A and B are shown apart, each in its own frame.
Chain A
Amino acid sequence: KQEVTQIPAALSVPEGENLVLNCSFTDSAIYNLQWFRQDPGKGLTSLLLIQSSQREQTSGRLNASLDKSSGRSTLYIAASQPGDSATYLCAVYGNQFYFGTGTSLTVIP
């Protein structure tokens, strides 16, 4: 069974800092990997989708990379802002979606 792990579980950084969130998965037989953002008490919002044949995707200040062979993905956030504070979840799709437990990010003004 696929297992998705996210490290760290929580992260607190000062505004303006660049940061990296990590996601690892045990089964490399995936179709894609996605990064989501979840605000407290809200649903998930898709940030980036990387197909298995791709290495990275970029959207604004966000850059996600995928190394399928090693079972790893990173989400890079440049010049963090207080509005980036949220929980970030990664999910992989093989025969179904598997989600990590998320990284809770706090950006301190």
Chain B
Amino acid sequence: NAGVTQTPKFQVLKTGQSMTLQCAQDMNHEYMSWYRQDPGMGLRLIHYSVGAGITDQGEVPNGYNVSRSTTEDFPLRLLSAAPSQTSVYFCASSYGTSGSPNYFGPGTRLTVT
């Protein structure tokens, strides 16, 4: 299993540009989620999904869109990038059963200038 994969690893955007961060998992996990981590901080939940076709907001959803058309993929869209969205983005997945662990991807480092 490749586990949780994220692309790209690094990205630089100009303010106002849009882009999609990709996340895929091959473990047939129902739950997937997106987090951001600012320098020296813990992770904050952006959006999450409990299955294909179902998404919900986390702690910091503004400026981000998600959709989940398949079990495997959970892309994160930045509609109009802002410097405040400069961060490292992590995707995670889990089975969603009682207490099952989350598995995280390697992250995407995004810089918005």
* Same complex: no
Name A's B-contacting residues (CB within 8 A).
none
